[in-house]
Structure 1
Amino acid sequence: MRKRVVSITAAIGITAVGFAGLPRPTPVIVWNASASAPIGLYRVVPGTPQRGDLVLVRTPRSIETLAGTRHYLPAGVLLVKHIAAGGGDRVCAAGGTIFINGQPVVRQLDADRAGRLLPRWTGCRALAQGEVFLLNMPEESFDSRYFGPVPTANIIGRLVALWTE
C-alpha cells in the first residue's frame, strides 16, 4: 500500500512539474479595466491586426519595470492599445507632439498625475516591417508616445468588443 501511495505521489509531482514548463495559454476573453481604452469585455481574435485595430499586447520589456514601479499596471498585465502606425509609416516626435505621416496625432505629457517625469520617445523614422506604434487617445495613456515602437511579435491578437461601458 505504501509503495502505491509513493508511486501515485511521484506521478502527480512529475506531471505538475511537466505542466509548469508549458507556455501559458493565449487568453480568449479579456476584461479591460483601464480608462485609456473602452472599459469592457473583449474577445481575442487571432490573425494579423491592421492600423486602427484595438489589440492585446505584451508589455515591452523596456518599460515593464517602470510601469510596475509606478503602479501604471501590475507585472504581467497585458496592454489594450490601438495600432496607430505600422511598417512603412513615418512616425516623429517633435515639440511634445507625435506625428504620423506628417499629421499631428497626440501630445506627449511631461509628467504623470503624480508629477513624476515621463519617459519620452524621441525620433523621426519610418517603422520597419514587424513594428507598430501603439496609441490610445487619452493623453494619460501609457503607450508608444512614451516607450516607442513595439515589435508585432508582442501582439497577442485583435480585440472585438463583447460589452463595453
Structure 2
Amino acid sequence: MKPALKRASLLAGVSLVVVAPLSALALAHVSLNTTPCMPLGFYQAVAQKPLAVGQTWTVCVPQTWTVYGLHRGYLHPGSACPGGSQALLKKIAALPGQTVTVTKTGVRIDGHLWPMSAPLTRDTAGRPLISDYDVHQIPAGYVWVMGLSPQAWDSRYYGAIPDKDLLNREKAVLIWR
C-alpha cells in the first residue's frame, strides 16, 4: 500500500472511531460537562416536567451579565444563549415564593444552608467578586440557581434568573469526581 493511501486509511479509521461516538452522543442529546461547578461527566437532556428544587438545568445568565462573564472567562463563547455565550450547568436552588438570604457565611434557602455556598470575594484569578448580599424573595417567573462548587459563578453573584432562561433539564448519565 502506498504511504499516502496508508495515511488516508488511518485518518479515515481514526475519524470513524472519534466522530461516530460523538455523533451518537449528540443525537441522544448527551453533552459533556468539563467545568468544576458541577460533577464532571456526561449529562442528557430529559423531559422538562414542572420545575423543582434540585433539578439540574442548562441555563443562560441574564444578558446584562453575559459581557462580564465572557470577559472574565466565566462563560465561553457560543450560540446557546443571547449575547453569544454557551449555557451553564446549574441546580435549581429556589423557586418563586421562596426566600434566599445571601451572607458572607453562605446562601440560605428558607433558612437551610446550601452546601459550600459562602460567596467568594475574589475569583481564581484574584480579581474582586461582588456578591448579591441581601434577602431575596423569588418572584413569579424566576428561579435561583447554584453550582455545587464554592467557585461556581451562580445566583450568589447575579441574582435570580428568569425561568425562560432555563434551556434543558439535564440528568447525569456518567459522572466522576
- TM-score where L is the length of structure 1: 0.77
- Counterpart contact for 2:103–2:118, Cα < 8 Å: no
Q: Residue 58 of structure 2 is aligned with which of 45, 50, 56?
A: 56
RMSD: 1.7
Partners of 1:58 and 1:51 in 2: how far apart? 18
Look up the match of 1:29: 30
Q: Residue 82 of structure 1 is aligned with which of 80, 91, 95?
A: 91
- Counterpart contact for 1:130–1:151, Cα < 8 Å: yes
Question: Could you tell me how far 1:96 is from its partner in structure 2?
Answer: 4.8
1:70 corresponds to which letter in structure 2? Answer: R
**Residues 100-153 of structure 1: per-residue CA shift (max 9 Å, x gap):** 112232210100011101121132132112111111221100101111101110
Partners of 2:35 and 2:113 in 1: how far apart? 24
Look up the match of 1:149: 160
2:64 corresponds to which letter in structure 1? Answer: S
1:101 corresponds to which letter in structure 2? Answer: D
Partners of 1:38 and 1:62 in 2: how far apart? 27
Partners of 1:32 and 1:60 in 2: how far apart? 21
Q: Residue 106 of structure 2 is aligned with which of 92, 97, 105?
A: 97
- Residue 127 in structure 1 maps to residue 138 in structure 2: yes
Partners of 1:45 and 1:55 in 2: how far apart? 10
Paired residues in the alignment total: 139
1:100 corresponds to which letter in structure 2? Answer: I
- Counterpart contact for 1:84–1:132, Cα < 8 Å: yes
The alignment partner of 2:164 has SS state of helix
User: Structure 1 stretches (4+) deviating beyond 4 angstroms?
Assistant: none
Unaligned runs of 5+ in 2: 1-27, 78-84
- Residue 45 in structure 1 maps to residue 43 in structure 2: no
1:45 corresponds to which letter in structure 2? Answer: V
**Residues 62-108 of structure 1: per-residue CA shift (max 9 Å, x gap):** 22111111112212211100011111110112335222112232210
Unaligned runs of 5+ in 1: 1-26
1:49 corresponds to which letter in structure 2? Answer: L
